Amino acid sequence: SAVISQKPSRDICQRGTSLTIQCQVDSQVTMMFWYRQQPGQSLTLIATANQGSEATYESGFVIDKFPISRPNLTFSTLTVSNMSPEDSSIYLCSVGYRGLNTEAFFGQGTRLTVV
């Protein structure tokens, strides 16, 4: 298993500003992902964070809005840029290990409110 620390745990931000969320894992992991959970909704994958290269984004998400970094095997950041109230969500970092039948492990999430 993995212990995942996300910071901040919550924040209230003004529209038009940006917020960077950090995800730190206690061990080297193969894969890191970022999900969004809008109020009352399920989890939607934003992107896969790739070490040392550009993230792989899912349909509907773009790098300009959600830039992601992953400088090493234990750390990643997600930035929510030029925020609007529609960006109010919980953002979750998830990690996985390449192999057979592996589950994903999740951080506690960052609860973002944009006003």
Near another protein by CB under 8 A: residue from 24, 48, 79, 81: 48
Q: Among the candidate windows 11-19, 60-68, 79-87, 96-104, which touches another protein by CB under 8 A?
A: 96-104
Burial 25-50 (b: 16+ CB within 10 A, else e): beeebebbbbbbeeeeeeeebbbbbe
Judged by CB under 8 A, does residue 103 bind another protein? yes
Residues 3-42 that bind another protein (CB under 8 A): 6, 30-31, 33, 41-42
Residues that bind another protein (CB under 8 A): 6, 30-31, 33, 41-43, 45, 48, 92, 94-109
